Amino acid sequence: MRWLVTGGAGYIGAHVVTALSESGIESVVVDDLSTGRAARVPFGVPLVRADVRDAAAVREVFRRHRPGGVIHLAARKDVAESTAHPLRYYQDNLDGLRCVLAAVAASGTRRVLFSSSAAVYGTPRRSPVREEDPAEPANAYGRTKLIGEWMLRDAAAGAGFRWGALRYFNVAGAAAPQLRDEGGTNLVPRLLRAAALGIPATVYGTDYPTPDGTAVRDYVHVADIADAHVRAALALAEGELHDEVLNVGRGEGASVLQMIAAVARATGRPLLFDAAPRRPGDPASVVASPVRIRSRLGWQARHGLQSIVTSSIAEVAKAA
Ligand SMILES: NC(=O)c1ccc[n+]([C@@H]2O[C@H](COP(=O)([O-])OP(=O)(O)OC[C@H]3O[C@@H](n4cnc5c(N)ncnc54)[C@H](O)[C@@H]3O)[C@@H](O)[C@H]2O)c1
């Protein structure tokens, strides 16, 4: 069975396509290359350059490639940009999903896996946060992901396909130089850039109610995220995953200062930082409960924090 991977030329998507190929699962990529790069797509995997908001183009891909399942990653992901341009995010993230779901409903495709995000929780009322806890996103990006989950659920009920939504926590690291994150706004790329330039990193908020005062997040290696997709795709195909939202995180938090220390350990040089005020909408602590994904997919993160940081540094160095 062939999987259609939207956004498969992006940072996470290319890791997913690579992991599918390594597991002997065929895929075809649709990507408009707005933030993705064709060179990330493994040799032998067809890449269709198209915008997923283009309904006719998406229908044509389904007609030509007849995917048995879809992994939908194509989206914009910059929280600050989503606050400045919310309607652009509603249009890009939700029109794209709607076109893909319309093509699924009109075709024989019976499985959809959706890239959701820990951003749907906003400021969690407890930590670790579980899937059944309230979803109260704090920004437009998170709201597009929550509405996306609702849209998926409704479309599946109407058309009768199976679905899964993976709520990734903070994705970092790289499995190979050409696959690394070039987005630059997430913490690990920001810290690495500061380290490479020999300038202090900016730490937003040093007065949070956390052990060292800086924000705590659940960092998860992108190779583990890719593995979760392979397992979820197989489980959807086997009928073992039914219409569920799953957290994808390690279940362990790390503060910004702990990440700075991990970068310093990996580079062998201290990394200084400047304290800046908290950014609006940034919660103190967001850590996943990985209990459900472990029970449904047998998934567990294999990479720890140092491996996440070291792989990012090694890959930046190799790619330079
Ligand atoms: N990186 C993270 O920490 C993180 C966390 C939670 C969720 N996510 C989600 O994971 C998915 C992938 O994120 P990423 O980090 O790989 O980002 P990315 O920007 O590297 O990848 C997104 C890919 O989608 C493509 N794309 C965007 N809009 C498109 C459109 N309209 N038509 C066709 N292709 C389009 C881009 O060219 C790119 O290749 C996104 O849905 C994102 O919201 C990411």
Residue-wise pLDDT tens digits, 279-307: 887 899 999 999 999 999 999 999 999 99
CATH architecture label of 172-217+251-319:
Alpha-Beta Complex (3.90)
Class of domain 3-171+221-248: alpha beta
Catalytic residue among 141, 168, 208, 219: 141
- b/e map 8-43, b = 16+ CB within 10 Å: bbbbbbbbbbbbbbeeebebbbbbbeebbeeebbbe
Q: What is the pLDDT of residue 319?
A: 46
Cβ of 168 closer than 6 Å to ligand 1, yes or no, is yes
**CA 184 to chain centroid:** 14
Mutate to test the pocket of ligand 1, among 28, 29, 35 (most ligand atoms within 8 A of CB): 35
Q: What is the pLDDT of residue 178?
A: 80
Q: How many of the other CB atoms lie within 10 Å of CB of 157? A: 11
**Catalytic site includes residue 141:** yes
Residue intervals of the chain classified under CATH 3.40.50.720 are 3-171+221-248
Residue intervals of the chain classified under CATH 3.90.25.10 are 172-217+251-319
In whole angstroms, what is the distance from residue 167 CA to residue 133 CA?
13
In whole angstroms, what is the distance from residue 11 CA to residue 40 CA?
8
Residue ranges for the chain with pLDDT beneath 50: 315, 318-320
Q: What is the pLDDT of residue 183?
A: 67
